[in-house]
Amino acid sequence: MKDGKIHRKIKVHFEPDGVGALVDKGANLLQAAVDAGVHITASCGGAGVCGTCKVLIERGEVESSPSKHITNDDWNRGIRKACQSKVLTDLKVVVPVESRLETAVVSREIDMTAGVGQPAGTVATGWKFKPPLNKCYLELPMPTLSDNTSDLSRLLRGLKKYCNLKYAGVDPGVLKKLPQVMRRKNYRVTATTLVKAVKTQADKRKPTVINIESGNTTRAHLGLAFDIGTTTVCGQLLDLGRGEVIAEAMTRNGQIGYGEDVITRIAYSQRSGGLKKLQQAVVTTINNIIQVLLDNSKFKSEDIGHMTVAGNTVMTHILFGVDPKYIRLAPYTPVANFFPPVKANSLGIVVQSHVHVFSFPCVASYVGGDIVSGVVAAGMHQREKLTFYIDIGTNGEIVIGNSDWMVTAACSAGPAFEGGGIKHGMIATEGAIEDFKIREIGCKPEFRTIGGVKAKGICGSGLINIVAGLLGAGIISQNGKFNFDAEEGRIREGEDGCEYLIVPAPESQTGKDIVITEVDIDNLMRAKAAIFAGCQTLTKNVGVSCADLEQVIIAGAFGSHIDVENSITIGLLPDISRHKFAFVGNGSLSGSRLVSFSTDLLDDARKVATMMTNFELSESPDFMHHYVAGLFLPNTHAGDFPSVKRRLIGLKGR
Amino acid sequence: MKDGKIHRKIKVHFEPDGVGALVDKGANLLQAAVDAGVHITASCGGAGVCGTCKVLIERGEVESSPSKHITNDDWNRGIRKACQSKVLTDLKVVVPVESRLETAVVSREIDMTAGVGQPAGTVATGWKFKPPLNKCYLELPMPTLSDNTSDLSRLLRGLKKYCNLKYAGVDPGVLKKLPQVMRRKNYRVTATTLVKAVKTQADKRKPTVINIESGNTTRAHLGLAFDIGTTTVCGQLLDLGRGEVIAEAMTRNGQIGYGEDVITRIAYSQRSGGLKKLQQAVVTTINNIIQVLLDNSKFKSEDIGHMTVAGNTVMTHILFGVDPKYIRLAPYTPVANFFPPVKANSLGIVVQSHVHVFSFPCVASYVGGDIVSGVVAAGMHQREKLTFYIDIGTNGEIVIGNSDWMVTAACSAGPAFEGGGIKHGMIATEGAIEDFKIREIGCKPEFRTIGGVKAKGICGSGLINIVAGLLGAGIISQNGKFNFDAEEGRIREGEDGCEYLIVPAPESQTGKDIVITEVDIDNLMRAKAAIFAGCQTLTKNVGVSCADLEQVIIAGAFGSHIDVENSITIGLLPDISRHKFAFVGNGSLSGSRLVSFSTDLLDDARKVATMMTNFELSESPDFMHHYVAGLFLPNTHAGDFPSVKRRLIGLKGR
């Protein structure tokens, strides 16, 4: 308005979401989408280098310049990179299926009670079922002139007498509704109590009354467990009365529009209003998941009384609105590793005002609450066995130790294992290619999708199986490059370089070919190299060898299972006795669920976080050496992978 | 707007406040004033029966009808009762000096350190100076790669090492500013910690870090202590580092516009939005006092870190926004006797966001935190002496007992002792007539005002002395009626019936005669009758006589001292050995101050509240019998007041 004229706002309409936005002329199109809540994958955070944020401008004009990521044909039909486009006129923008595929929250059919679903020997045991959130139904005596104590005292007396809750406190919000709620059904009430503090040497647990309802509501006693990943957010709706999972759902973290990994997110948080935007983005994701969880149940939002989240250190900072700036500056200090419980709706989470968010304690800047959660769920802190715990995600974390000691390290793998940065990558939901096999060299590949439906894309575990399969069939070499001699027809030159056709367009759900590119393979190699180099560096530094490991627990949100043989083949996991491996799925989510069921495990989480010693891989010269050796299939140190070496030689011999 | 016309709002301008308000035609003028924050004394809560809310309509028109409270002269010059006036046109309204006199916050010169200012033997002893709010200055080591723990861990480590604070928790708000604050002065910080919970058998105290500042701010370490009375609100600004009072101020409770006693306040709270209005009224009063306290000091609002309030049960409910409805309905149950600490600015109190409000626990619907506070301050719970504690205020409370047991009762005295409902009554501040004497029958009365300035009005202790003086001089009879034969000139017929001239207009500060009326005397007699009847009923019910009392502690906000002899003369206090009496001033405020200085006393407050057994006077037939006997000077049972009887007979004999 500096020139005194009134600027008309420009209308941008996004399809297929059907969402409209008003922006100023010259606005960045990616930003406009993000602000309007329209998700467009933008792996590089809008820096213009990745090409994942392509959109179709169906009507109207943008200012944009050609890019190597856009073919001439695509340019001519209106494809542009959203991050590099300025809005000039009213627009109709179509977000293509590849970019929006994973923005929908996907609920999963599950059949899982507490602890079930993980292999025996890899789950915490010996804990009592006693959720931090408790509901007590009380039939209190009516007040009389000879017993006219306060409503609160009457309630606390009842809790002490019938529920054995001594020294209970009360939240101020309860007092405001107490007199009406107690009288509505003649002093028959349900009190919701919460153990807020982790047990310390100094005190017994003192529960706090956080809510009060008329009548008996103990049947509607729910909690939420969340894993807040850099790339993927998963949530479960829990029945805290029965100790069961009611529903599960997952989706991409809405922050993805602001960058692919924690470093780009921290960078974004330093812009004006950046931290707030990131916080709102993940809260929107959480709210969407809660909505889907409730839609898949017979319960209402009012029935939810508790929430536990596990996330890495950066995700935890951002969720709580705490500045992560110094995490990426030497000497890499987080603001806090332990975050006190806060009211969920103070963060913007749409639940009742009495709901508190508990978060898992973190260990260091790059070893967060998600790993603590996974270790507790796996019961690693309860066994004497020398165990190796690997959480394979965008930020790969590894832990070595047992009930006496634990050393941790973080190695940034990038989002490949969660389908991020992969041309047709996706999260591990229906339609994701999970299994892949080439029975005989020269045969047509066979694959299986989650849910057995037509293929939409490739999830993390599918990616491992595809690369191992292509390597075994000689279609790619040990350096990850395509071997044009090995296959005819499926290996070809695509818009992003060489690619291998997995599913032809007519057979796919997207109506487009599903391929794996050399760039994808390269991304996977860098991801697995980082993780394996971390394993090697850490084992060496604690003075053990891979052969000494008695158990290897693998966690990750990348699929419903992992093929150990294939993982060893590509050099992600060490080549040791196969029976030592166990896959526990999303360990962070499991831990989040389990502490919602037991205060014992809540205490354990605190202890585990305290006993973990962090080892900074970036400070170790060994790490880079091992990493470079890992940029090969399985590894340039073939001696570390004797069984793979034998097999590959066997193949060559044929 | 029902008729489709656009109604113009009517402008009401209040002088001398200079405040304007926009109201609808037909609005109630008293309500308009209250809504605009202009205080007009309205003892009956706007019921139209008391005549205290008179205002001068200087310009414009109101609809009002004549009243016995308004003389013809006054009516002709535009005096109207605000509560009975409807606004018809734009108005200029002058609130006369009598109605606004006490609305200004008055700061008092004080020279008082903790505990000093009360007679020996009537103050709590043996407590350690350790305020619940603590400030620790720390020079923390800078983070390095080998010590890159989180900012929070670094802080807590420092608190443990240098301040011996183990297991400290942290408020979420601290985390948001922690990284910037710690780095601003190279990890030299001042942490403010608060002991939130009262000690129980179950745990040690765990302080919580509630604020963090750069550099050393330990010199600016203030707290607020408040007594929230039904009629009067008093506040002190405390130096929590030195244990000193910096400033003191008091004013009328802004709720007075909504009714004189707790019963009318509860009634008002049941109107739509009523509770919110009452809450805002007292919060405005508190904010005004805080502003005056700061203006009288060299400190800023940011230096205040803590607040303690003591109030009766109804005042405490309203302050915390909790519905007091059931307090006045049998069987008289409060919502709570214990209120958890809340953030002060969640109530609207204008202080930093980390400041918490602690309130004293209450005992029953009509025995509140103010009496607990006074008893703790007086150390009554520490001595074996059989002690009688009387808090003389609008709601008179009495306690009998010692370190082993305590029984309490409440007797509604009305506001007379705080100058309420008295024609020229005022709070005990500068200009209030405090002492009064007639040396010889027939002599001109002598009086002394607080501050030695020209008289403005009469405070509670002045009222006692005046009535005793008039009785002693034979100017009033034992039934409280004027004896026209005893005096010429000063006894006369006034607008409210018979009155006695104390200060003629030329000698007063208001430029008007200051008088005491028969109605005033009647109000005082009812007030003192209620209190003494309470004393008699309670002593009888616990099986002791007044002669058994070893100590009588008198508290009240009605003046800087009380004349025991005169109080016995009018029948307010029992006629026992004078050396047993001690006056401790505003005991509720003293307790509020002392617990701000010592967590020991905070614990004591909880214990005292728990050990007190409430006795319902209204359920005792004795009480009404004693009350009726008390509507006489000193009492119809003259045998209970042998020394007074002797004196009055002696007078008559002359």
Question: pLDDT tens digits for B278-319?
Answer: 999 999 999 999 999 999 899 999 999 999 999 999 999 999
Which of B155, B157, B167, B175 best tests the A interface by mutation, with the highest count of A CBs <10 A?
B175
Judging contacts by C-beta atoms under 8 Å, the chain A residues touching residue B170 are 336, 338, 340
- DSSP E strands in A171-283: the ranges are 188-195, 207-214, 222-228, 232-239, 244-252
Could you say which of A147, A151, A365 has the minimum Cβ distance to residue B335?
Answer: A151
Do A255 and A623 form a contact (C-beta atoms < 8 A)?
Answer: no
Do A369 and A313 form a contact (C-beta atoms < 8 A)?
Answer: yes
pLDDT at B328 exceeding the cut of 70: yes
Structure token digits, residue B409: 């009762």
User: Looking at chain B, which residue has its C-alpha nearest residue A170?
Assistant: B340
Work out the average pLDDT over B194-221.
82
Q: Do the Cβ atoms of A204 and B204 come within 8 Å? A: no
At residue B417, the 3 state secondary structure works out as helix
Q: In this structure, which amino acid lies at residue B29?
A: L
A201 pLDDT band (50/70/90 cuts)? very low
Q: Do the Cβ atoms of B331 and A148 come within 8 Å? A: yes
Q: State the pairing for strand pair A244-252/A232-239.
A: antiparallel
Spatial distance between the Cα atoms of B449 and B455, rounded to a whole number of angstroms: 6
Spatial distance between the Cα atoms of A245 and A224, rounded to a whole number of angstroms: 10
Across chain A, what does the average pLDDT equal?
89
Spatial distance between the Cα atoms of B236 and A206, rounded to a whole number of angstroms: 34
Do B46 and B271 form a contact (C-beta atoms < 8 A)?
Answer: no
CA of A396 vs chain B CAs: smallest distance (Å): 20
Bridge partners of B387?
A: B401, B551
Work out the average pLDDT over A499-514.
92
Could you say which of A171, A326, A340 has the minimum Cβ distance to residue B171?
Answer: A340
CA of B133 vs chain A CAs: smallest distance (Å): 20
Work out the average pLDDT over A216-233.
95
Do A588 and A487 form a contact (C-beta atoms < 8 A)?
Answer: no
Structure token digits, residue A520: 């994808």
User: Looking at chain B, which residue has its C-alpha nearest residue A176?
Assistant: B322
A136 pLDDT band (50/70/90 cuts)? very high
Q: Do the Cβ atoms of B172 and A619 come within 8 Å? A: no
pLDDT at A114 exceeding the cut of 50: no
Spatial distance between the Cα atoms of A344 and A103, rounded to a whole number of angstroms: 23
At residue B212, the 3 state secondary structure works out as strand
Spatial distance between the Cα atoms of A91 and A58, rounded to a whole number of angstroms: 7
Q: Do the Cβ atoms of B330 and A145 come within 8 Å? A: yes
Cα separation values, B470 from B160, B483, B647, Å? 65, 10, 14
pLDDT at B202 exceeding the cut of 60: no
Spatial distance between the Cα atoms of A78 and A45, rounded to a whole number of angstroms: 22
Could you say which of B206, B333, B365 has the minimum Cβ distance to residue A203?
Answer: B206
pLDDT at B110 exceeding the cut of 60: no
Spatial distance between the Cα atoms of B49 and B65, rounded to a whole number of angstroms: 13
Could you say which of B151, B200, B201 has the minimum Cβ distance to residue A336?
Answer: B151
pLDDT number for residue A43: 59
Judging contacts by C-beta atoms under 8 Å, the chain B residues touching residue A335 are 150-152, 175, 178-179
Could you say which of B203, B325, B342 has the minimum Cβ distance to residue A179?
Answer: B325
B426-484 confidence digits (pLDDT tens): 888 889 999 999 988 778 899 999 888 999 999 999 999 999 999 999 999 999 999 98
pLDDT number for residue A4: 46
Spatial distance between the Cα atoms of A129 and A121, rounded to a whole number of angstroms: 19
Neighbours of B109 (CB within 10 A): 9
pLDDT at B627 exceeding the cut of 70: yes
Cα separation values, B333 from A179, A183, B316, B539, B621, Å? 9, 12, 14, 24, 21
pLDDT number for residue B574: 95
Do A615 and A584 form a contact (C-beta atoms < 8 A)?
Answer: no
Q: Do the Cβ atoms of B148 and A320 come within 8 Å? A: no
Nearest to A363 by CA among A610, A531, A555: A610
A517-546 confidence digits (pLDDT tens): 999 999 999 999 999 999 999 999 999 999
Alpha helices in A270-390 (DSSP H): 274-295, 313-319, 369-378
At residue B279, the 3 state secondary structure works out as helix
Could you say which of A144, A175, A201 has the minimum Cβ distance to residue B331?
Answer: A144
Do A316 and A340 form a contact (C-beta atoms < 8 A)?
Answer: no
Cα separation values, B317 from B229, B278, B361, Å? 13, 11, 11
Structure token digits, residue A563: 């093929």
Measured distance between the N- and C-terminal CA atoms of chain B, rounded to whole angstroms: 74
Beta-carbon contacts of residue A500 (< 8 Å; ≥ 6 apart): A470, A475, A476, A482, A487, A490, A491, A492, A515, A516, A517
Across chain B, what does the average pLDDT equal?
89
Nearest to B360 by CA among B554, B122, B110, B590: B590
pLDDT number for residue B265: 95
User: Looking at chain B, which residue has its C-alpha nearest residue A331?
Assistant: B145
Measured distance between the N- and C-terminal CA atoms of chain A, rounded to whole angstroms: 75
Beta-carbon contacts of residue B480 (< 8 Å; ≥ 6 apart): B467, B518, B521, B522, B525, B632, B633
Spatial distance between the Cα atoms of A519 and A422, rounded to a whole number of angstroms: 8
pLDDT at B90 exceeding the cut of 70: yes
Nearest to A584 by CA among A433, A409, A412, A390: A390
Do B229 and B418 form a contact (C-beta atoms < 8 A)?
Answer: yes
Do A459 and A450 form a contact (C-beta atoms < 8 A)?
Answer: yes
Give, as one character, the DSSP assignment of residue A598.
B
What percent of chain B lies above the pLDDT cut of 70? 91
The interface predicted TM-score of the complex, written ipTM, equals 0.82
Give, as one character, the DSSP assignment of residue A507.
G
Sign of the torsion formed by the C-alpha atoms of B637, B638, B639 and B641: positive
CA of A201 vs chain B CAs: smallest distance (Å): 9
Do B224 and B244 form a contact (C-beta atoms < 8 A)?
Answer: no
Q: Do the Cβ atoms of A336 and B619 come within 8 Å? A: no
Judging contacts by C-beta atoms under 8 Å, the chain B residues touching residue A333 are 143, 148-151, 154
Cis before B66 (ω within 30) = no
pLDDT at A131 exceeding the cut of 80: yes
Spatial distance between the Cα atoms of A581 and B108, rounded to a whole number of angstroms: 77
Residue scoring higher pLDDT (B204 or A551): A551
Rounded to 5 degrees, what angle do the CA atoms A229, A232, A234 make?
A: 85
pLDDT at B620 exceeding the cut of 60: yes
User: Looking at chain B, which residue has its C-alpha nearest residue A339?
Assistant: B172
Judging contacts by C-beta atoms under 8 Å, the chain B residues touching residue A178 are 322, 335-336
Give, as one character, the DSSP assignment of residue A373.
H
Nearest to B549 by CA among B587, B572, B579: B579
Could you say which of B175, B338, B339 has the minimum Cβ distance to residue A322?
Answer: B175
CA of B130 vs chain A CAs: smallest distance (Å): 20
Q: Do the Cβ atoms of B148 and A364 come within 8 Å? A: yes
pLDDT number for residue B201: 46
Judging contacts by C-beta atoms under 8 Å, the chain B residues touching residue A203 are 202-204, 206
pLDDT number for residue A105: 61
Neighbours of A632 (CB within 10 A): 18
User: Looking at chain A, which residue has its C-alpha nearest residue B156?
Assistant: A336
CA of A539 vs chain B CAs: smallest distance (Å): 20
Q: Do the Cβ atoms of B333 and A148 come within 8 Å? A: yes
Alpha helices in A226-327 (DSSP H): 262-269, 274-295, 313-319
A552 pLDDT band (50/70/90 cuts)? very high
Judging contacts by C-beta atoms under 8 Å, the chain B residues touching residue A140 are none
Residue scoring higher pLDDT (B599 or B443): B599
Work out the average pLDDT over A560-581.
91
Q: Do the Cβ atoms of A148 and B619 come within 8 Å? A: no
Rounded to 5 degrees, what angle do the CA atoms A245, A250, A251 make?
A: 165
Nearest to A358 by CA among A397, A291, A299, A311: A311
A559 pLDDT band (50/70/90 cuts)? low
pLDDT at A100 exceeding the cut of 60: no
Structure token digits, residue A403: 């009930």
pLDDT number for residue A430: 84
Spatial distance between the Cα atoms of B653 and B633, rounded to a whole number of angstroms: 18
pLDDT at A219 exceeding the cut of 70: yes
Do B617 and B411 form a contact (C-beta atoms < 8 A)?
Answer: yes
pLDDT at B103 exceeding the cut of 90: no
Which of B147, B269, B322 best tests the A interface by mutation, with the highest count of A CBs <10 A?
B322
pLDDT number for residue B15: 83
Judging contacts by C-beta atoms under 8 Å, the chain B residues touching residue A183 are 326
Judging contacts by C-beta atoms under 8 Å, the chain B residues touching residue A149 are 333, 337
Q: Which H or E run contains A525?
A: helix A518-542
Could you say which of B145, B180, B333 has the minimum Cβ distance to residue A150?
Answer: B333
Could you say which of B154, B171, B204 has the minimum Cβ distance to residue A202?
Answer: B204
pLDDT at A495 exceeding the cut of 70: yes
pLDDT number for residue B59: 92
Q: Do the Cβ atoms of A152 and B202 come within 8 Å? A: no
Could you say which of A200, A203, A325 has the minimum Cβ distance to residue B179?
Answer: A325
pLDDT at A3 exceeding the cut of 90: no
pLDDT number for residue A103: 46
pLDDT number for residue B53: 81
Q: Do the Cβ atoms of B178 and A335 come within 8 Å? A: yes
Q: Do the Cβ atoms of A176 and B322 come within 8 Å? A: yes
Q: State the pairing for strand pair A10-15/A19-23.
A: antiparallel
pLDDT number for residue A36: 77
Rounded to 5 degrees, what angle do the CA atoms A378, A382, A388 make?
A: 55
A438-449 confidence digits (pLDDT tens): 988 778 899 999
pLDDT number for residue B579: 92
A6-35 confidence digits (pLDDT tens): 567 889 998 877 788 889 999 999 888 877
Spatial distance between the Cα atoms of A285 and A290, rounded to a whole number of angstroms: 9
